[in-house]
């Protein structure tokens, strides 16, 4: 047991400083050596999930010897044998899953302490220098050992006021995925309402003078969790960090493959990252791209104080997709209605209230709400004075609203709410998962079939720093791209367009194109596909040039700028 490391760990907690660590799931002790070498405060060696055996666990603990990195073992269950063995082979403490009740937390503490205060048996293993330091270890272990219960159920969050009163526990860890499952959102890392539940629970833990921790999903999530008051912050799982880094590197080459549960790559014929020499002949386009300047689209008066500047739709021959800019005057409201197609709303300016069957969400800049067909909803400007500007997209070119006068009980949804299962999806841009889609890019998926089963379209947000771009590609459906920040260069088969100030491109099915940021300031877009999955078919870069245009023999009119 490393007393100096444990003392340093506790001193940082008392000072309310963050403690950064790594969740270890792979067998190589070199991983823990790396964590020690770069100065991580802690590692948790995962013996609950995965394939680590006791030989692997001991090797990881040895890699952390004589360091300032606290080494903990997550046991598979609340079991005195597993806890005793973890501590006997040299762990500085244990992380115990599924701690729902006071009795369970008390047992975890008792199993980790020698009598008379606990029930840990005395053994002559590594922790006692194989019996040679038995008295010394027994004397110091009680005041040094760390016991970290994991809160990963709705029941545990409801019992937290009692859990924090148990002596012998300083830090509680969260398991958002299992907590989401017990809240009815199995398969989601942090399902609807779970983020707010965690925040409330953290407040209770901190009010009791104790601390909370979680594994974060990226740099933005790390900042958010730190701001929420969590202090034991995991930078990720070793395997997840490695896979993320590999995917980012492969994405930049245009050759990355999706990952399947079978642990085999998607067949090259099916993956959107396979580079084709030219698009399939079956995707030969019958229309040219249309560049649409904001303010010059088809103007539609939706309701008093609400104007729709339709930039992509039936008027310029889009298929299964309508997009444009909606300006909502101060205090204006679009009455409750439903539609026979899905709709996406992204806030570009101001704050709006979206109300879906009584559930009220306050949306700010770059937040998105996507509403499946058939759900009654209304939208209003939260300001009585300043206008709000929205990007809207609908999975149809035949726009019809059906008024709804049904009464719905109104309830304000918490800021972290992500929607409801089977209903609307809300993406808070500040909290959203971000990924790399190409060099110098950062993307967020707002909606697609995987996120919202049954939705007819897909879309999201992409930001490009200087030089950021995607490879030349085509789609098997129409696409709308709205430039909401900076200036983009749009290249379509050698034709170049400068776009800014919410100008929107209609890219018909089969047109080879890409966007690039050629300026020093950032550029960002809101993109929507008239297809349920964001599938890009990557083609040889030459296809995006005048000389290599695969459709150059097609008899079509000149490209349109509207």
Alpha helix segments (H runs only) across 19-76: 30-37, 54-63
As a whole number of angstroms, the distance between CA 202 and CA 232 comes to 12
Q: Give the chain's mean pLDDT.
A: 92
Q: What is the pLDDT of residue 422?
A: 86
177: enclosing H helix or E strand:
helix 176-182
Burial 361-391 (b: 16+ CB within 10 A, else e): bbbeebbbbbbbbebbbbbbbbbeeebbbbb
57-79: average pLDDT: 97
The residue among 272 and 154 whose pLDDT is bigger is: 154
Task: Give the least confident one: 20-24, 548-552, 555-559.
Answer: 555-559
Closest to 342 (Cα-Cα) out of 455, 430, 255: 455
Q: What is the pLDDT of residue 253?
A: 67
Instruction: Give residue-wise pLDDT tens across range 89-100.
Output: 999 999 999 999
H/E run at residue 196: helix 194-207
Compute the distance between CA of residue 337 and CA of residue 172 in angstroms, rounded to an integer: 45
379-409, pLDDT tens digit by residue?
999 999 999 999 999 999 999 999 999 999 9
248-306: per-residue pLDDT in tens? 777 666 565 556 555 655 444 334 457 899 999 999 999 999 999 999 999 998 999 99
Specify whether 49 is catalytic: yes
Q: Is 480 exposed, middle or buried (0-12, 13-18, 19+ CB in 10 A)?
A: buried
Among 250-259, 440-449, 526-535, 539-548, which is the least confidently predicted range?
250-259
pLDDT at 263: 62
- Asked if residue 553 has pLDDT above 80, the reply is no
Dist CA 26 CA 490 (whole Å):
44
- Cβ(309)–Cβ(354) under 8 Å? no
Rg over alpha carbons for the chain, rounded to the nearest Å, is 27
Answer whether residue 101 shows pLDDT above 60: yes
Query: Which position has the token pair 């930039």?
Result: 311
Q: What is the pLDDT of residue 221?
A: 86
Residue 132: is it exposed, middle or buried by C-beta count within 10 angstroms (0-12/13-18/19+)? exposed
Give whole-number Cα distances, 431 to 104, 339, 346, 378, in Å. 33, 29, 15, 24
Confidence (pLDDT) at 268? 42
Please report the pLDDT score of residue 305 as a whole number.
95
- Domains (ranges, CATH) in the chain? 3-143+217-245 (3.20.20.60), 283-561 (2.60.120.10)
pLDDT digits (tens, 9 = 90+) for 345-359: 999 999 999 999 999
Q: What's residue 258's pLDDT?
A: 57
CB 195 within 8 A of CB 416: yes
> What confidence score (pLDDT) does residue 266 get?
47
Q: Residue 114 has what pLDDT?
A: 95
Per-residue pLDDT, 247: 75
**HSE-up of 453 (CA within 13 Å, CB side)?**
3
Q: Give the pLDDT band (50/70/90) at residue 555.
A: very low
Share of the chain above pLDDT 70, in %: 94
**Closest to 145 (Cα-Cα) out of 178, 113, 187, 182:** 113
What does residue 266 show for φ and ψ, rounded to 5 degrees? -60, 135
pLDDT average, residue stretch 88-114: 97
Nearest to 393 by CA among 297, 464, 308: 308
Q: What is the pLDDT of residue 257?
A: 58
Nearest 10 degrees: CA dihedral of 438, 444, 449, 454?
A: -150
Residue 338: closest CA among 370, 303, 369, 376: 376
What's this model's pTM, rounded to 2 decimal places? 0.56
Give the whole-angstrom CA distance, residue 101 versus residue 77. 14
What confidence category does residue 558 fall into, taking pLDDT thresholds of 50, 70 and 90?
A: very low
Write down the catalytic residue from 49, 51, 132, 161.
Answer: 49
**Residue in this structure with the two tokens 């800014």, named with its chain if needed:** 500
pLDDT at 264: 57
User: If we measure between CA atoms, which residue out of 312, 503, 303, 306 comes closest to residue 396?
Assistant: 312
Mean per-residue pLDDT for 161-180? 96
Mean pLDDT calculated for residue range 202-218? 95
pLDDT at 269: 37
Q: How many CB atoms lie within 10 A of CB 273?
A: 20
Q: Give the model's confidence band at 115: pLDDT under 50 very low, under 70 low, under 90 confident, else very high.
A: very high
């Amino acid at each position: 047991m490393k007393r100096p490391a444990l003392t340093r760990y506790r001193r940082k907690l008392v000072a309310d400083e963050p403690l950064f660590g790594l969740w270890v799931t792979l067998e190589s002790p070199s991983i823990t050596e790396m964590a020690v070498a770069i100065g991580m405060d802690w590692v948790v060696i995962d013996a609950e999930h995965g394939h680590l055996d006791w030989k692997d666990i001991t090797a990881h603990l040895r890699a952390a010897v004589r360091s300032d990195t606290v080494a903990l073992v997550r046991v598979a269950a609340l079991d005195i044998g597993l806890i005793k063995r973890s501590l006997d082979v040299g762990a500085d403490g244990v992380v115990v899953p599924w701690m729902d009740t006071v009795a369970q937390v008390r047992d975890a503490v008792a199993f980790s302490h020698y009598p008379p205060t606990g029930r840990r048996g005395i053994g002559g293993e590594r922790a006692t220098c194989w019996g040679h330091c038995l008295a010394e270890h027994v004397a110091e272990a009680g005041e040094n050992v760390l016991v970290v219960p994991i809160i990963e159920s709705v029941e545990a969050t409801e019992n937290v006021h009692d859990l924090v009163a148990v002596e012998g526990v300083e830090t509680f860890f969260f398991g958002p995925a299992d907590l989401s499952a017990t809240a009815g959102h199995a398969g989601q890392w942090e399902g609807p309402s779970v983020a707010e539940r965690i925040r409330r629970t953290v407040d209770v833990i901190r009010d009791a003078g104790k601390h909370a921790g979680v594994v974060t999903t990226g740099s933005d999530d790390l900042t958010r969790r730190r701001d929420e008051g969590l202090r034991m912050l995991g930078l990720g799982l070793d395997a997840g960090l490695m896979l993320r880094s590999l995917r980012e590197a492969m994405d930049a080459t245009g050759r990355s493959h999706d990952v399947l549960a079978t642990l085999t790559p998607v067949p090259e014929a099916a993956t959107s990252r396979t580079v084709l020499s030219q698009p399939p002949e079956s995707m030969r386009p019958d229309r040219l791209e249309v560049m649409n300047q904001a303010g010059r689209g088809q103007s539609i008066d939706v309701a008093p104080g609400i104007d729709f500047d339709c930039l992509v739709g039936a008027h310029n021959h889009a298929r299964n997709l309508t997009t444009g800019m909606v300006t909502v005057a101060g205090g204006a409201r679009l009455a409750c209605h439903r539609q026979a197609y899905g709709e996406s709303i992204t806030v570009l300016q101001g704050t709006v209230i979206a109300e879906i069957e009584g559930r009220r969400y306050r949306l700010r800049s770059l937040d998105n709400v996507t509403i499946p067909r058939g759900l009654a909803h209304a939208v209003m400007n939260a300001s009585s004075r300043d206008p709000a500007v929205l990007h809207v997209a609908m999975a149809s070119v035949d726009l019809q609203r059906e008024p709804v006068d049904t009464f719905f009980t109104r309830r304000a949804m918490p800021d972290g709410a992500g929607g409801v299962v089977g209903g609307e999806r809300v993406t808070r841009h500040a909290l959203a998962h971000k990924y790399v889609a190409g060099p110098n890019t950062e993307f967020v998926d707002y909606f697609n079939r995987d996120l919202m089963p049954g939705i007819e379209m897909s879309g999201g947000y992409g930001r490009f720093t200087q030089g950021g771009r995607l490879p030349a590609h085509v789609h098997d459906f129409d696409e709308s791209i709205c430039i909401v920040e900076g200036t983009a260069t749009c290249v379509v088969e050698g034709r170049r367009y400068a776009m800014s100030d919410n100008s929107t491109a209609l890219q018909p099915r089969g047109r080879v194109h890409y966007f690039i940021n050629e300026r020093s300031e950032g550029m960002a877009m809101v993109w929507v596909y008239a297809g349920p999955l964001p599938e890009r078919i990557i083609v040889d870069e030459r296809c995006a040039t005048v000389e290599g245009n695969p459709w150059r023999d097609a008899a079509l009119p000149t490209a349109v700028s509207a």
